[in-house]
Structure 1
Amino acid sequence: MRSSALIAIAALAIFPAASFAQATRFQKADCSTSLDHTVCMAQTKQMASDWKRANNGDYGSQRNVAFCLKNGCDGSTKIDAVGACSWRMIIQAAENEKDAADRWSYEADCKPLTNSDRRTAINQAEKIYSRIYGKQMPIERLLRD
C-alpha cells in the first residue's frame, strides 16, 4: 500500500511537468495523414513561425497559436485544449489592445474545461507569461468583462 501511494505522488509530480513541457514547445502533427498534405505543411511552417513570435510577446501570433491549439489548423498542430486556454489567458492578462473576439475566445476555450484542466491551464499560463513578460501574470485581468 505504501508503494502505491508513492507511485501516485510521483505521478502527480511528473504529469504537471510533462504538461508544461508540452505547452512550451510546438507540437507538430503528422501531415502524412492530412487530407491536404500541401496545406498542412504550409500551416506547420506558419505555426512554427507564430509559435516563436508568440513566445516573444507578439499579440497576433499568440491569437494564432491559441486558435491552432484549439482547432488543429488543417492537421498541422496537435490539438491541445488546455494549451489553447493557457494562451487565451495570456492574451487576456497581457497589456495589449484586445477586442471582443478575444474575450469570447477566452470563454469559449476555457469554460468547457474541467476544473482540473483549468487549474493546469492557469499554471501553464503563469509560467509562460512570466517567461515572456518577465513579471507575474496579473490574474485579475482574467476576471474583467
Structure 2
Amino acid sequence: MLKFLLALSVSALFVSPVEATDLYPATKACVPGKPHCERWTTEFKRSLALAQKGDHVAQQTVAFCLSSGCHGAVAINRVASCSWHLIIVNSGAATVLDRSNLRNTCRPMTRAQKDEARALSGELIRKLYNRALVESDQM
C-alpha cells in the first residue's frame, strides 16, 4: 500500500499544469443546419453555471455534453467529462448510472489523462463539498 501511495504521489508530479478552462470549456459556434445546436449551447451554459454551484442534474448535463458534444454545441473533451463524472460520484447523490458513466468515460483514458481529470475535479470538490476527492477504483 505504501508503494502504491508513493507511486501515486510521484506520478502527480508529471501531470501538466491544470488550466481552469479545461474544466470550464467554452461552447462552440453553431454550424448552420444544426437545429438543436443553439438550444444546447444555451442549455450547456445554464447547466455549467448550476453545476458549479453543486446542482446534480446540471453536473450530469455538463458531463454528458463534454463527452457527446451535444449536437455540436460543445467541444468534446473526455478529460473534462471524466472530471465532472468524478465530481458527481463524490457528490453524495450519485446513482448506479452515475458510477457506470464514470467507468465508461474514464476507463479508456491513459493514466496521465486520469491523473489530469483527478486534478481538475479535486479543487471543485473541495469548494462544493468541503472535502478532498475520494479516490475511486472505478476509473
Contact (CA 8 Å) 1:34, 1:75: kept in 2 or not? no
Q: Which amino acid aligns with 1:125?
A: S
Quick check: 1:27 aligned with 2:21?
no
Which residues in structure 2 correspond to 1:1-145 (within 5 Å)? 15-17=16-18, 20-31=19-30, 33=31, 35-36=33-34, 38-96=35-93, 98-139=94-135, 142-143=136-137
State how many pairs are aligned.
125
Q: Which amino acid aligns with 2:114?
A: R
Q: Find the aligned partners of 1:34 and 1:57 in 2 and give their Cα distance.
A: 33
The RMSD of aligned alpha carbons is: 1.9
For residue 101 of structure 1, give the secondary structure of its aligned residue in structure 2: helix
Unpaired runs of at least 5, structure 2: 1-13
Q: Find the aligned partners of 1:23 and 1:110 in 2 and give their Cα distance.
A: 16
Please identify runs of 4+ aligned residues in structure 1 that moved more than 4 A: none
TM-score computed with the length of structure 1 as normaliser = 0.78
Q: Find the aligned partners of 1:135 and 1:93 in 2 and give their Cα distance.
A: 9
Structure (1/2) with the larger helix percentage: 1
Structure having the higher Rg: 1
TM-score computed with the length of structure 2 as normaliser = 0.81
Q: Find the aligned partners of 2:58 and 2:36 in 1 and give their Cα distance.
A: 19
Unpaired runs of at least 5, structure 1: 1-11
Identical columns (%): 25
Q: Find the aligned partners of 1:46 and 1:101 in 2 and give their Cα distance.
A: 22
Contact (CA 8 Å) 1:43, 1:76: kept in 2 or not? yes
